[in-house]
C-alpha cells in the first residue's frame, strides 16, 4: 500500500516551486507555495525557497 501525495505547482506565474496538496496555501481557489505568493507578493517579498526568483 502506498500513499500518494498529490503535487501541484504554485499558481504564481514566476514561481517554480512544487508543493504537496496538503501543504499548499489556498487562495482564490488556487494553490500557492507560500503566503508571499498567495498575496501576489504585495509585500514585495519572494517566497522563501532557494533558487526561486519570484518577487511579484
Residues that bind Zn ion (CB under 5 A): 10, 12, 15, 17, 33, 37, 47, 49, 52, 54
Q: Tell the smallest beta-carbon distance from residue 28 to Zn ion (Å).
A: 14
For Zn ion, the closer of residues 3 and 25 by Cβ is 25
Give buried/exposed letters for 32-54 (b at 16+ CB in 10 A, else e). Answer: bbbebbbeebeeeebbebeebeb
Residue the block writes with cell 503566503: 35
Q: Tell the smallest beta-carbon distance from residue 43 to Zn ion (Å).
A: 11
Q: Tell the smallest beta-carbon distance from residue 50 to Zn ion (Å).
A: 9
CA-nearest of 11, 31, 13 to 22 is: 31
Amino acid at each position: 500500500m502506498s500513499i500518494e501525495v498529490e503535487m501541484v505547482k504554485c499558481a504564481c506565474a514566476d514561481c517554480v516551486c512544487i508543493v504537496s496538496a496538503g501543504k499548499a496555501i489556498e487562495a482564490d481557489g488556487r494553490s500557492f507555495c507560500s503566503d508571499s505568493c498567495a498575496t501576489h507578493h504585495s509585500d514585495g517579498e519572494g517566497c522563501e525557497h532557494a533558487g526561486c526568483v519570484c518577487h511579484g
